Amino acid sequence: MTNSTTDADTTLRVSRSYGAPRERVFNAWLNAETLRRFFGPKDVTIGELEIDPRVGGSYKVVMNTADGPWAVRGTYLDIRKPERIVFTWAWDEDDPALVNESQVTLEFFERDGKTDLVLTHERLRNAESRDGHTDGWTAILENLDEVLA
């Protein structure tokens, strides 16, 4: 089960437990082939996907939706294997100049051979953006559960 909370109009937190070791859950976020299998809601297919998983490296994911393609990109700010990944987040369609980048933090906690993942997305534009991203992240974390099974 995925749980979500909001701290303010511009921050969301989503968590989920996985029946897989922490290192495996962590690695899924930095492997392009695996990321392609879970990164997006069910009605989305991943087109272009580029990742350079190192501090200072960048990523770009194009999500093909019924409304057309949406591209998100950012930079990895912190990678501490297997504990934490931090990256910036900006939609090309909404913010091509990256003026309003938000930040995503993934924290991985091992518990009896299983993994608790806490995702925090900060500095979103408003409550509407927060709510939309909460739905998207919840779907992604559910998809990851299927990929790890």
pLDDT of residue 100: 73
The token pair at 37 is: 């299998």
65: alpha, beta or left? (left if phi > 0; alpha if psi -120 to 50): beta
CA atoms within 13 A on the CB side of 82: 15
pTM to 2 decimal places: 0.90
In this structure, which amino acid lies at residue 36?
A: R
The token pair at 5 is: 């909370």
Domain ranges for the chain? 2-148
DSSP β-bridge partners for residue 45: 64
2-148: CATH number = 3.30.530.20
pLDDT of residue 4: 52
**Residues with pLDDT less than 50, the chain:** 6
- Please report the DSSP string for 33-73 in residue order: HHHHHHSS-TT-EEEEEEE--STT-EEEEEEEETTEEEEEE
pLDDT of residue 23: 97
